[in-house]
């Protein structure tokens, strides 16, 4: 069987029912400070789900104002010894007062389904699947991305390398009406005026990874419209392009891309009580999952 046929076969195994199950299990009020017990419940679900895939699972404690939170890390060892890993990540907390179906139960759903499918494969590269905590703003500080910042600092201390980092940030909302898509003023690229594409956001160091995702996704899942964009100056001119867990990886020199549905530039439910499962496009989420699975499979065996 050729690699192309193998990738197609695996991507066809993406289960919309499992994705729905995962997303609905994460959905609900779970702001890290205001809904601590609810967030811990989601952490336990993610941990148990990773264990059910026979992955090696560990929790990385993150302290914040006297409470302990968790980054949940699941790993599958590659066939060859390598210094550089592939990471797929998504944050599982939600904004205050929001059930966070798109932001970011959708990303966690894709993370878990990707882990389920890849856990059955033998790859050359070691893969980490990471559910990050404390991504959203907290009342006690102007800082956010707290969980992923801690993770990246510890990775640097351990001299752990990554050849590819994929951060899933709100990948479930589409609007097929003309004029439904907007963009920040400084983004000078042509994009569809319908909000039904996947954005892949990179900085200069991550441009090759962005192009790889665009190319491989187009080869295996051509029905998914992918719009790649390399931000100038690592996104500092367009702050919205740094509003997720890829930014700490950029800050420390790792190649990372954010996969997203453009969030506030498309979804009127962003950070509100209306961000519910019923507003999501499950067919789109399936296509995103297929593309990511194929990309990781191809890059994970390209040594």
Taking only the tens place, the pLDDT of each residue in 149-173 is: 999 999 999 999 999 999 999 999 9
Q: What is the pLDDT, as a whole number, of residue 303?
A: 57
In the chain the first and final C-alpha atoms are separated, in Å, by 19
Q: Is the peptide bond before 104 cis (omega within 30 degrees of 0)?
A: yes
- pLDDT > 90? residue 98: yes
DSSP code of 64?
Answer: E
- Whether residue 104 is predicted with pLDDT greater than 70 in this model: the reply is yes
Residue with the two structure tokens 């295996």: 220
3-state helix, strand, coil in the chain (%, to 5): 40, 20, 40
CA–CA separation, 207 vs 228, rounded Å?
A: 9
Q: Longest Cα pair distance anywhere in the chain, in angstroms?
A: 55
Task: Give the pLDDT of residue 10.
Answer: 79
The pair phi, psi for residue 239, each rounded to 5°, is -55, -30
Please give the backbone phi and psi of residue 248, each rounded to the nearest 5 degrees, phi first: -60, -30
User: Token pair for residue 50?
Assistant: 């990773």
Residues of the chain above pLDDT 90, percent: 88
Reduced to 3 states, what is the DSSP secondary structure of residue 251? Answer: helix
In terms of Cα–Cα distance, which of 266, 261, 274 is closest to 201?
A: 261
| Whole-structure pTM value | 0.96
Distance CA 97, CA 229 (A): 31
Rounded-to-integer distance, Cα 252 and Cα 153, Å: 8
| Residue 7 clears pLDDT 70, i.e. is over it | yes
**Neighbouring residues of 2: CB distance < 8 A, sequence distance ≥ 6:** none
| Distance of alpha carbon 93 from alpha carbon 108, whole angstroms | 10
pLDDT band at 80 (very low <50, low <70, confident <90, very high): confident
Residue 50: band (very low, low, confident or very high) from pLDDT cuts 50, 70, 90: very high
Q: How far is CA 102 from CA 268, 277, 278, in A?
A: 11, 7, 10
Closest CA to 256 of 238, 234, 240, 237: 234
Distance in angstroms (rounded) separating the CA atoms of residues 107 and 23:
8
Q: Contact 152/135 with Cβ under 8 angstroms?
A: no
CATH number at residue 264: 3.40.630.10
Q: For the residues 84-89, what does the mean pLDDT come to?
A: 96
> To the nearest whole number, what is the mean pLDDT of the chain?
95
Neighbours of 170 (CB within 10 A): 29
Please check the confidence at residue 249 and state whether its pLDDT lies above 70: yes
* Pairing status of strand 198-202 against strand 256-260: antiparallel
Q: How many domains does the chain have?
A: 1
Q: What is the pLDDT of residue 1?
A: 58
DSSP 174: -
Any long-range contacts for 12-17 (C-beta under 8 Å, 24+ apart)? 12/290, 13/117, 14/113, 14/117, 14/286, 14/289, 14/290, 14/293, 15/113, 16/282, 16/283, 16/285, 16/286
Residue 225 confidence (pLDDT):
97
Q: Domain range holding 151?
A: 3-300
């Amino acid at each position: 069987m050729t690699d192309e046929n193998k990738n197609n076969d695996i991507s066809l195994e993406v289960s919309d029912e499992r994705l729905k199950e995962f997303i609905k299990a994460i959905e609900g009020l779970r702001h890290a400070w205001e809904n601590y017990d609810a967030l811990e419940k989601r952490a336990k679900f993610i941990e148990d789900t990773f264990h059910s895939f026979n992955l090696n699972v560990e929790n990385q404690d993150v302290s914040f104002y006297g409470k302990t939170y968790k980054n949940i890390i699941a790993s599958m060892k590659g066939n060859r010894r390598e210094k550089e890993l592939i990471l797929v990540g998504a944050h599982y907390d939600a904004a205050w007062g929001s059930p966070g179906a798109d932001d970011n139960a959708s990303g966690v759903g894709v993370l878990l389904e990707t882990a389920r499918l890849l856990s059955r494969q033998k790859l050359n590269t070691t893969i980490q699947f990471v559910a990050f905590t404390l991504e959203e703003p907290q009342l006690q500080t102007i800082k956010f991305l707290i969980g992923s910042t801690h993770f990246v600092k510890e990775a640097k201390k351990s001299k752990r390398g990554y050849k590819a980092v994929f951060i899933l940030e709100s990948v479930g909302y589409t609007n097929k009406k003309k004029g439904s898509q907007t963009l920040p003023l400084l983004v000078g690229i042509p994009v569809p005026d319908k909000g039904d594409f996947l954005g892949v956001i990179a900085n200069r160091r991550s441009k090759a990874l962005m192009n790889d995702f665009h190319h491989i996704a187009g080869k295996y899942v051509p029905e998914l419209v992918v719009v790649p964009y390399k931000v100038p100056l690592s996104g500092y001119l367009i702050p919205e392009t740094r509003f997720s867990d890829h930014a700490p990886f950029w800050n420390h020199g790792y190649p990372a891309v954010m996969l997203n549905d453009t969030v506030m530039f498309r979804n009127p439910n962003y950070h509100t009580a209306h961000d519910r499962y019923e507003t999501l496009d499950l067919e789109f989420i399936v296509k995103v999952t297929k593309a990511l699975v194929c990309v990781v499979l191809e890059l994970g065996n390209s040594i």
